[in-house]
A and B are shown apart, each in its own frame.
Chain A
Amino acid sequence: MITYLKTISRIKTVFLKAVFLFGVLAVMGFRPDYGDAIVVGAIGEPRTLIPIMASDSASGAICGLIFNGLVKYDKDLNLVGDLAKGWDISEDGLEITFYLRRGVRWQDGQPFTARDVEFTYKGLVDPRVRTAYSGDFKMIKRLEVIDDYTVRVLYKEPFSPGLSSWTMGIMPEHLLKGEDLNTTRFARHPVGTGPYRFRLWKTGERVELVSNHDYFEGRPYIDRYIYRIIPDQATLFLELRAGGVDEISLTPLQARRQTQSRFFKENFNKFRYPSFGYTYLGYNLKDFRFRDLRVRQAINYAINKEEIIRGVLLGLGRVSTGPFIPESWAYNKAVKAVKYDPEKARVLLKEAGWRDLDGDGVLEKNGRRFSFTIITNQGNGERRMTAEIIQRRLKEVGIEVKIKIIEWSSFVSEFIDKRRFDAVLLGWGLSRDPDMYDIWYSSKTKEGEFNFVGYSNPEVDRLLLEGRRTFDRKERTRIYHKIHRILYHDQPYLFLYVPDALPIIRKRFKGIKVAPAGIGYNFIKWYVPKAEQKYIR
């Protein structure tokens, strides 16, 4: 009876609120309120706020709010204009002409012009500058400033990923001319054209930004953006509960088991969408066991990816079949993951000549037991658990697996770069452009390059080059769908899963909509109704 009354009274309040709200909306015409601050909690500290030097995700996230590129990705992962309002690509694909927005001002009031674009380009290709992004810009033969608002970029050969490389944040020439970009004070006091301007950076504590009222797409509703550095996952979660931060990324365990209470339902919104990355088991294809396609396909049948997703991610992920963003146009949805089938795996291994002759449960061929080691990096529990499940499933088909976990820096320089491994469990982050030349092209196998599994398929090589030379979306879709199909057939990697991104945000923030690009794409449109604002000055 009491609950009944409570429900009635709750319905009544909700109803009254709704009527009130409706009235207000009707009178004023709906316009979100300005004000409040969002405190984002994260583990990593940014390294620098110079866009061309920002190679870690924390720096990238903050730079993205302060700076603009010439182009950007919209919510559906299409390239659209940002500082450029449009562009032309010449017939032969060798020239891209950008038409810049007029009337954009740097946050210090100076006008933004084509000369800033030129300056940024020069920084990117200057051999003295410690930028990691010179690669894509080395493809440029010449950059011409036609007038204040027109830039022509001439490429040495047609290079379609070049267009998306112009998402790179543009830096102000008038503030940086003559400065040493490696050591400039600007790295910790940046000035951009973006929706937020820099306020302060307390090392190891937080970075604080305030909204740019003159932003060319309109003033953001949320007045302040505070990035708090909390290097411990457990503390982050406690801070979230205590109200010290408004947004964090949850672990699958927190998302599934620790945020189900009424307190969380009443105070937070949880979001879920595929992250831009995937986890895989890469084989050393120089190894005689993994050189055999049948062995790699057998392992694909022997591993139940759904089971890994259930066990490791508590269901918060999806099976991956290829190296593309699942929601992007490049991902070939027609490539279906094989069904878990240990019997088929056994048959394939037998065809490949592997038999258990001495009855110890492990297969042999030419007197050698099928035993190999999976290495992965320390500090990633998901990868360790995934390796353990693989170990168990492969044992059932007669393959013995050992697991070795190695500290990151040694892992990369001593094992991956030098190709001292049988199989490696790793993940790749995915860029919005599907070009994957550096990972799959057959010549990219030098020490320190990214085709460390040693994959080589002339047709994929040809398609990768073609994909880089083609601008037409339809044509590129065809090319990457084909690459996707071949890679899944060839199994140079055992593609495992794409984990979900799991942000959780205080309920007072409104206007958040999940799209293929995630949730951050319309951050400047997020708002907090006046009555719910927390940080008022």
Chain B
Amino acid sequence: MTRYLLRRLIGIIPLLFGITIITFAIIHLAPGKPTGIEAQFNPKVSLEARERIAHLYGLDKPLYTQYIDWVKRLLRFDFGTSFVDSRPVMEKIAERIPITLGINLASMILILLIGVSIGVSSAVREGSFYDRSMTVFVFAGFAMPTFWLALILMDIVGVRWGILPVSGIKSLEFARFGFFEQVIDVARHLALPVFVSAFGGLAGISRYMRSNMVHVLRQDYIRTARAKGLKERDVIYKHALKNALLPVVTILGLSVPGLIGGSVIFESIFSIPGMGRLFYNSVMARDYPVIMGVLVIGATLTLLGNLLADISYAAVDPRIKLE
């Protein structure tokens, strides 16, 4: 097991290296230049001033030199500084990860709880009216554009009823609240975003769960369990559910990188300062160091997530051995 782990971890390094070369090449080949300074298309900003800034950022060097410089810094865990505001890339990413991670974790837990329950209960009542209405419900959530649902809810709950804040993650007076009030304040702000993102994600897990469960319920060992007179509850929750949950573990492992990824539309609408907005704005401004930083972290997490999925699979399923 340890040897397997080591082998996989070492294998990640060349893979990661390859990914950085490709992404570095692609973002530099894409048309457009860093606009940190010329975004406003301002005649007060002279050509000379812009060239000087490009030089200070090292953009006038050949591409391979720029890449080597970047790798050298990366080896010291230095992702460089942003072209837009000259702040360290790590700092810019670090201040946004907790928010995105928090929202994604909360909505993932919600999706798991509700999605698994819907999946199991639908499978048990396969083909019933309940099953079919749940199908419609989760697909409605899947099909509904997030921005539309978000705006409607903000208008009704936030503006008309005035019971939840419209956007943002904290109140203006947050710093003066007591701890308990602060927790409630954040919860009130996150209620709508978490609901909206969870509603969209229900379909995936619940459908997976349902089809696994339907499949498992037809197995011989379930018939055996029923035949020996176990209560239906025990049959479903002890024997069937455990087996049906196995593939969900894989999905969870694969969704690890998604935890730090945010959606720009979603974050813009709720004005949440998360990773999606950071990445989108960086791409639009051709802020190469930030783009590379986010991509490297994303790639690393994807590779680790895959590994994690494999390991946890082996851990929960005795039939699988990693060598």
- Chain A interface (Cβ within 8 Å of chain B)? 37, 39, 47-48, 55-57, 127-128, 130-136, 138, 182-183, 187-188, 202-206, 226, 228-232, 234-235, 238-239, 241-242, 244, 407-410, 412-414, 426, 428-429, 431, 436, 438-439, 446, 448-450, 535, 537
Count contacts between A and B, CB distance < 8 Å.
164
Given contacts A229-B273, A235-B167, 16 further A-B contacts (CB under 8 A): A57-B40, A132-B50, A133-B44, A135-B44, A204-B274, A230-B271, A231-B268, A234-B151, A235-B151, A408-B284, A409-B284, A414-B32, A426-B41, A439-B43, A449-B47, A537-B176
Task: State whether the Cβ of B297 lies closer than 8 Å to any Cβ in chain A.
Answer: no
Q: Please give the distance in Å from A263's CB to the nearest CB on chain B.
A: 10
Within 8 A of A (CB), among B30-63: 30-33, 35-53, 56-57
**Is A407 in contact with B32, judged by CB distance below 8 angstroms?**
yes
Q: Compute how far the CA of A422 lies from the CA of B166 in the bound complex, rounded to whole angstroms.
A: 45
Given contacts A241-B159, A242-B158, A413-B31, contact A232 B271 (CB under 8 A): yes
A132/B277 in contact, CB under 8 A: no
Would you give the shortest CB distance from A426 to chain B, in whole angstroms? 8
Q: Which residues of B contact A138 (CB under 8 A)?
A: 48
- Which residues from chain B sit less than 8 Å from chain A, CB to CB? 30-33, 35-53, 56-57, 81, 84-87, 92, 95-96, 151, 154-155, 158-159, 162, 165-170, 172-173, 176, 267-274, 277-278, 284-286
Q: A57-B40, A232-B271 are known contacts. Are A408 and B158 too (CB-CB below 8 A)?
A: no
Docked Cα-Cα span, A206 to B267, in Å, equals 15
Nearest Cβ in chain A — how far from B172, in angstroms? 6
Are A412 and B38 touching (Cβ within 8 A)? yes
**Are B31 and A410 touching (Cβ within 8 A)?**
yes
Please name all residues of chain B whose beta carbon is closer than 8 Å to the beta carbon of A131 when the two chains form the complex.
49
Which among B43, B52, B87, B151 is the interface contact of A127 at CB below 8 angstroms? B52
Chain B proximity of A424: nearest CB distance (Å): 11
CB distance from B7 to the nearest CB of A (A): 40
B43 touches A450 (CB 8 A): yes
How far, in angstroms, from A206 to B51 measured CA to CA in the complex?
32
CA distance A128 to B273 in the complex (A): 31
* Complex Cα spacing A537 to B37, Å: 40
Contacts of A238 in B (CB 8 A): 151, 154-155, 158-159, 166-167
* Contact status A47-B85, CB under 8 Å: yes
Complex CA–CA separation, A56 to B40 (angstroms): 6
* CB of B186 to closest CB in A, whole Å: 13
The reply to whether B271 and A231 form a contact with Cβ atoms under 8 Å apart is yes
**A55 touching B46 by the CB < 8 A rule?**
no
> How far apart are the CA atoms of A78 and B30 in the complex, in Å?
45
Contact of B43 among A182, A205, A408, A428 (CB under 8 A): A428
User: Are A242 and B166 interface neighbours, CB within 8 A?
Assistant: yes
User: Which residue in A127, A446, A535 is a CB contact (below 8 Å) of B47?
Assistant: A446
Minimal Cβ-Cβ distance residue in B for A378: B284
**27 interchain pairs, CB-CB under 8 A:** A56-B40, A132-B49, A132-B50, A134-B46, A134-B48, A138-B48, A183-B87, A203-B92, A204-B271, A204-B274, A229-B271, A229-B273, A230-B167, A234-B269, A235-B151, A238-B151, A238-B167, A239-B167, A242-B159, A408-B39, A409-B32, A413-B31, A413-B32, A428-B43, A438-B44, A448-B47, A535-B173
Contacts of B172 in A (CB 8 A): 37, 39, 206, 226, 535
- Contact A429 B42, beta carbon cutoff 8 Å: yes
Taking CB atoms, residues of chain A closer than 8 Å to B270 are 235
Partner of A55 from the list B42, B57, B158, B268 (CB cut-off 8 Å) is B42
Q: When the two chains form their complex, are residues A412 and B273 in contact, meaning their CB atoms are under 8 A apart?
A: no
| CB-based nearest A residue for B35 | A409
Contact between A130 and B53, CB atoms less than 8 A apart = yes
A183-B86, A241-B159 in contact; A448/B273 too (CB < 8 A)?
Answer: no
Assembled-state Cα–Cα distance A47/B167 (Å)? 22
Contact A244 B56 (CB under 8 A): no
Question: Chain A's nearest CB lies how many Å from the CB of B81?
Answer: 7
The CA of A241 and the CA of B166, in the complex, are separated in Å by: 10
- Assuming the contacts A183-B86, A203-B95, A235-B271, asked whether A228 and B47 have C-beta atoms less than 8 A apart, the reply is no
Complexed CA–CA distance, A187 and B277 (Å): 21
Complex Cα spacing A354 to B126, Å: 73
A55, B38: Cα distance in complex, Å: 8
Q: A55-B42, A133-B49, A428-B43 are in contact. Are A202 and B273 (CB under 8 A)?
A: yes
Specify which chain A residues have a CB less than 8 angstroms from the CB of B52 in the assembled complex: 127, 130, 134
CB atoms of A132 and B271 under 8 A apart: no
Q: How far is the CB of B92 from chain A (nearest CB, A)?
A: 8
| Residues in chain B near residue A241, CB distance under 8 A | 159
Residues of B within 8 A of A235 (CB): 151, 154, 166-167, 268-271
How many whole Å from B230's CB to the nearest CB in chain A? 53
Question: Which residues of chain A are near B92, meaning CB under 8 Å?
Answer: 203
The reply to whether A187 and B151 contact each other, CB–CB distance below 8 Å, is: no
A-B complex: 8 closest residue pairs judged by Cβ atoms: A204-B273, A409-B32, A135-B46, A410-B31, A132-B45, A410-B32, A231-B268, A230-B271
